[in-house]
Amino acid sequence: MSIMGMSFGSQGEPLLGEVVYVGNTHSEHPRSGLAISGLIVGILALITSLLPIINNISFFAALVGAVLAIAGLVSCLRGKRGAKGLAVAAVAVNVVAIVAVLVSQSMYSSAIDSAVNGPQAVASSKGGTDSTAGSNKEDEEDVAENLAVGSKVELANGVTVSVDEIVTGLVNYDGTAMTGVRVTYVNNSDKTASFNSYDWKGESSNGVQSDSSYYSEATEDLSYGDLSAGGTVTGFVYFEGDLARVLYYSSAFSDAAAASWKIS
């Protein structure tokens, strides 16, 4: 038998030259607390990475988590701490969280821009020939600028708008000169689309833009409402004074016209 590392024979006498080791021959390194902390922070950042506004905090949390995880990994590689695999996983989770935040914020930003600016022009019958938006921004802007009266513009939501006729020389009840603009909406999409006389603005030769105005002798004036899929609506929009251009805004919040027609 053995007591406290010494061996004894059957009669209880000690046996010289033999040593018995009791317990483990080596001690295991403790797990890296930095790696564990980094993993926990990374998981929380990843869970909240798709939440609007909150993911701003998630981004910075993931950066902190990545720093903790990398520090933990370094200590593991130097042999000071254990759980190298956990440290690698912590680094990976935080990197994924950072990427997820950037992707989600890009998506939300694009959705907000689309909602604010409204559907943009994708094609037009400019100058009597069809034009389609190109691959760069300049081509997209040019496709619907300074169109001729009678030209149509197709928007990204499937709605087509056009300026069909300009009527000048009109006089309002108070003697103000007026210009009538006949416009048409055609809904080629499978969803309901809205129309409104305030979608349109007139621009003078001096570059002054104005909203539509009341005209006492108006006929077939465009009002507002919803247009069912496949529907068409035509009407006049009236502006004070003479116009150089007519502009269409696909959103009331947009600061740039989706299309413009040159009158003179």
Domain shared by 184 and 126, yes or no: yes
pLDDT in tens, 33-50: 888 899 999 999 999 988
Domain shared by 73 and 128, yes or no: no
Domain shared by 243 and 178, yes or no: yes
Kindly state the percentage of the chain with pLDDT values over 90: 54
Q: Which domain holds residue 40?
A: 26-117
Domain shared by 110 and 127, yes or no: no
pLDDT in tens, 196-220: 999 999 999 999 999 999 999 998 9
Looking at 117, 133, 149, the residue that finishes a domain is: 117
Concatenated DSSP letters of the chain: -EETTEEB-TTSPBPTT-----S-SSPPPPBPHHHHHHHHHHHHHHHTTTSTTHHHHHHHHHHHHHHHHHHHHHHHHTTSSB-HHHHHHHHHHHHHHHHHHHHHHHHHHHHHHHHHH-PPEEEE-GGGS-EE--SSHHHHHHTTSSBPTT-EEEETTSEEEEEEEEEEEEE-TTS-EEEEEEEEEEE-SSS-EEEEGGGEEEE-TTS-EEE----TT--SB--EEEE-TT-EEEEEEEEES--SEEEE-SSTT-SS-SEEEE--
pLDDT in tens, 21-30: 444 444 467 8
For residue 114, pLDDT over 80 is answered with: no
User: How many domains does the chain divide into?
Assistant: 2
Domain shared by 130 and 112, yes or no: no
pLDDT in tens, 44-73: 999 998 888 888 899 999 999 999 999 989
Residue with more model confidence, 133 or 67: 67
- Of 43-52, 88-97, 183-192, 251-260, the range with the lowest mean pLDDT is 251-260
Residue 219 lies in a domain: yes
Domain shared by 231 and 179, yes or no: yes
Domain shared by 76 and 177, yes or no: no
